[in-house]
Chain A
Amino acid sequence: MARHFVRSEVLAARPAPRRPFDPIGWLSTNLFSSPLNIAATVLSVALIAKLLPPALDWAIFDAVWVGSSREACVGPGVGACWAFVWAKIGQFIHGHYPVGERWRVDLFFVLFAAGLIPMAIPRVPFKRLNAVYLILALPLVSLLLLYGGVFGLRVVPTSQWGGLLVTIIVAAVGIATSIPLGILLALGRRSKMPVIRMLSIAFIEFWRGIPLITVLFMSSVMLPLFLPPGVDFDKLLRALIGIALYASAYMAEAVRGGLQSLPRGQYEAAGSLGLGYWPTMRKVILPQALRVSIPGIVNTAIALLKDTSLVIVIGLFDLLGIIQSNFADSNWASPATPATGYIFAALVYWVMAFAVSRYSLFLERRLDVGRRH
């Protein structure tokens, strides 16, 4: 007869004990537990009471929702001029892309979403095929679709691209190229080969040491002076290269943080199994290091998404740029127009950044990043 020192069967789960909801108790523990807490509560409520009604009045109740020109948004007590955003929304999305060709941009958004959304949902199968589509097929198809010149599509030079299209292209290309580049640089920086290590360090420190705005200025103002006349690099391409190199330096440091968190034992264990450098990295080190690096990588990605608005200094119109340039439309110039435009831009950026941030949290939970070694 076997003796059990521990329970051999799992007890049936019981529901949590019900606690009667006690509003006064909840308030006294959460809001009024100490003098400091009471002061903070009173102050917060007073602030909300002071700021929220005017903000709501401005943004919703006194706002102008329909109208065809500035006349609608001028006058005493008029709030936000949403009519301006509504009249210009096509430009905010497509930039100066010719109106008759805007379907090509819309189709690009659909193709992009069709690649990204299934990739992001773990349950959806065919991940390998999906990755090939995202990394190889989509950029090529998008380029042909957006630039044109084939299959009877009109050529639309990149100078006419703009709005959300440019924001998404710059951010997506920047993030997609900087992650692999960053991984290589991070490995290079920890390499035992001095030349590779020195080159990686030099690269990372150079790009981290200069502001992005300088990179963009250099690419658009200085570079043409060095090129022979008649040779003209595409401005969008120059910005893409500059931003990708800049972001890869930051990605490299985020990944290096992950690499350093791994104990030496992992390398030694891989070595004792007879794995070479690349198999060690691919099968043992990187899967663990990248998982730890997710918060850093996402941080850099979100920063990059917002930094795309700097491309306006070189005359590219991303979302913020096209909104700003529309402030100069004399048909819509009014006291409320700039504020409304900026708030709209902030909303769009916030939605995108928040989505990325929530997805990374989901990914962290799924990969169990918080697990202790």
Chain B
Amino acid sequence: MRHLLIALAAFVPLAGIASAEAATLDDVMARGTVSCGVHTGLLGYAAPDNAGRWAGFDVDYCRALAAAIFNDADAVTFSPLSASERFTALQGTSVDLLARITTWTMSRDTTLGLNFAAVNYFDGQGFLVRRADGFTSAADLNGGSICVQTGTTTELNVTDFFAANNMTFNPVVFERIDEATAAYESGRCDAYTSDASGLYGTRLTLASPGDHMVLSDVISKEPLSLAVRQGDDQWFDIVKWLHNALLNAEELGVTSENVDEMLNSENVNIRRLLGTEGTFGESIGLSNAWAYQAIKLVGNYGEIFDRNLGAGSPIGIARGLNALWTNGGLQYALPIR
């Protein structure tokens, strides 16, 4: 028995070191695909399309990563993960990237053995209202009744928000999301509150989506982020700079359509981004055309957003906080130089 314990004790730290030093990029190269943890089915973020191909905002990040590494947006193995198993999947090396609407919090960042590489979507709690009621901001809801799912942070957030602004509201609480939305639709509440991205999805399932709108006010912070395993700085850099490359591409006007013409651009920022100048790709272990490949095959940040969530999709989410910093949003592209 004692021998067994000693053997185990010797084995555990070694295993820890082995995983910390494992070069994810080498594993991915050897395997030939990026293993990507996504949602099991969430409107706009990850869902199978008509042909059964995974599509969505988070899914496109997996595809962009595969394009940057392999020049093939389909070199991805998707692992649909439930909320409870997503972190163990990342710790257990069965996925290389977790792109699954995961909120970046300090406790997760520091205790779960993972690192958040970038916020790819700034979400927050919002309100869904009927257009006919004429509400234009959350302040107009003073004294109104609001449908909310009980036992969630949503309920706390809305209470705090109204208290902090010296307003009152009449909460109508439900155990389940579909009950809450049904009550809202039947007119029991003036507004339904949940995370804004979810509200747009809910709107699609109402009988006449056009009669409803999501108020632009956001009352909580939900920075949805890309996560990688802790202890592999190179892989962390690849994911972080992939996000920044997609943002830079939008800022510089480089799209999947014009990226080939842009290769001849005189603009030094574009030349650095597309790898015609400098060796930025090589510094993270990829080819210098890494960003070119991702943009060409998947598109820049704006294209990914529009196609899956924004004006180009049935969901129609406004850019809001996710607009580029130059347009008053929070998406700030770190410079590639």
Instruction: Say yes or no for B186: interface residue by CB 8 A criterion.
Output: no
Q: Could you tell me if A217 and B84 are in contact, using CB atoms closer than 8 angstroms?
A: yes
Digitize B76-103: 1 where CB-to-A-CB distance is under 8 Å, 0 elsewhere: 0111111011001101111000000000
Instruction: Say yes or no for B266: interface residue by CB 8 A criterion.
Output: no
Question: How far, in Å, is B160 (CB) from chain A's closest CB?
Answer: 30
- Which of A230, A317, A326, A327 contacts B93, CB < 8 Å? A230
Question: Can you sample 16 A-B contacts with CB below 8 Å?
Answer: A88-B50, A91-B52, A99-B52, A159-B80, A224-B91, A224-B94, A228-B11, A228-B15, A229-B22, A229-B92, A313-B82, A314-B85, A317-B80, A328-B44, A328-B201, A330-B204
Q: Could you tell me if A333 and B19 are in contact, using CB atoms closer than 8 angstroms?
A: no
CB interface residues, A 315-361, toward B, < 8 Å: 315, 317, 321-322, 324-331, 333-335, 337-338
CA distance A335 to B209 in the complex (A): 10
Known: A232-B93, A328-B43, A335-B205. A315 touches B80 (CB 8 A): yes
Instruction: Say yes or no for B143: interface residue by CB 8 A criterion.
Output: no
Known: A335-B207, A337-B205. A330 touches B314 (CB 8 A): yes
Instruction: Say yes or no for A117: interface residue by CB 8 A criterion.
Output: no
Question: How far, in Å, is A334 (CB) from chain B's closest CB?
Answer: 7
Question: How far, in Å, is A106 (CB) from chain B's closest CB?
Answer: 15
- Which of A159, A228, A337 contacts B78, CB < 8 Å? A159
Q: Could you tell me if B93 and A333 are in contact, using CB atoms closer than 8 angstroms?
A: no
Q: Could you tell me if B93 and A325 are in contact, using CB atoms closer than 8 angstroms?
A: no
Chain A residues near B276: list those with CB within 8 A.
Answer: none
Q: Residue of B at shortest CB range from A313?
A: B82
CA distance A270 to B46 in the complex (A): 63
CA distance A331 to B39 in the complex (A): 17
CA distance A338 to B209 in the complex (A): 16
Instruction: Say yes or no for B216: interface residue by CB 8 A criterion.
Output: no
Q: How big is the A interface, by class? A: 35 or more
Known: A159-B77, A315-B79. A221 touches B47 (CB 8 A): no
Q: Could you tell me if A157 and B48 are in contact, using CB atoms closer than 8 angstroms?
A: no
Q: Residue of A at shortest CB range from B200?
A: A330
Q: Could you tell me if A324 and B41 are in contact, using CB atoms closer than 8 angstroms?
A: yes
Q: Could you tell me if B48 and A327 are in contact, using CB atoms closer than 8 angstroms?
A: no
Chain A residues near B79: list those with CB within 8 A.
Answer: 159, 315
Chain A residues near B43: list those with CB within 8 A.
Answer: 328-330, 333
CA distance A97 to B55 in the complex (A): 15
Digitize B6-35: 1 where CB-to-A-CB distance is under 8 Å, 0 elsewhere: 000001000100110010000000000000
Q: Could you tell me if B51 and A99 are in contact, using CB atoms closer than 8 angstroms?
A: yes
Q: Could you tell me if B315 and A330 are in contact, using CB atoms closer than 8 angstroms?
A: yes
CB interface residues, B 306-337, toward A, < 8 Å: 308, 313-315
Q: Residue of B at shortest CB range from A84?
A: B50
Instruction: Say yes or no for A291: interface residue by CB 8 A criterion.
Output: no
Known: A157-B77, A224-B94, A227-B92. A325 touches B41 (CB 8 A): yes
CA distance A246 to B209 in the complex (A): 45
Interface size on B, residues (CB 8 A): 46
Chain B residues near A334: list those with CB within 8 A.
Answer: 204-205
Q: Residue of A at shortest CB range from B209?
A: A74
CA distance A135 to B218 in the complex (A): 59
Instruction: Say yes or no for B140: interface residue by CB 8 A criterion.
Output: no
Q: Could you tell me if B15 and A326 are in contact, using CB atoms closer than 8 angstroms?
A: no
CB interface residues, B 247-285, toward A, < 8 Å: none
Chain B residues near A229: list those with CB within 8 A.
Answer: 15, 18-19, 22, 92-93
CA distance A91 to B49 in the complex (A): 10
Q: Residue of A at shortest CB range from B86?
A: A315
Instruction: Say yes or no for A199: interface residue by CB 8 A criterion.
Output: no
Instruction: Say yes or no for A66: interface residue by CB 8 A criterion.
Output: no
Question: How far, in Å, is A226 (CB) from chain B's closest CB?
Answer: 10
Q: Could you tell me if A326 and B78 are in contact, using CB atoms closer than 8 angstroms?
A: no
Digitize A83-112: 1 where CB-to-B-CB distance is under 8 Å, 0 elsewhere: 000011011001111010000000000000
Q: Residue of B at shortest CB range from A94?
A: B52
Digitize A228-247: 1 where CB-to-B-CB distance is under 8 Å, 0 elsewhere: 11101000000000000000
Q: Could you tell me if A87 and B50 are in contact, using CB atoms closer than 8 angstroms?
A: yes
Instruction: Say yes or no for A220: interface residue by CB 8 A criterion.
Output: yes
Question: How far, in Å, is B285 (CB) from chain A's closest CB?
Answer: 21
Instruction: Say yes or no for B40: interface residue by CB 8 A criterion.
Output: yes
CA distance A224 to B86 in the complex (A): 12
Chain A residues near B204: list those with CB within 8 A.
Answer: 70, 330, 333-334
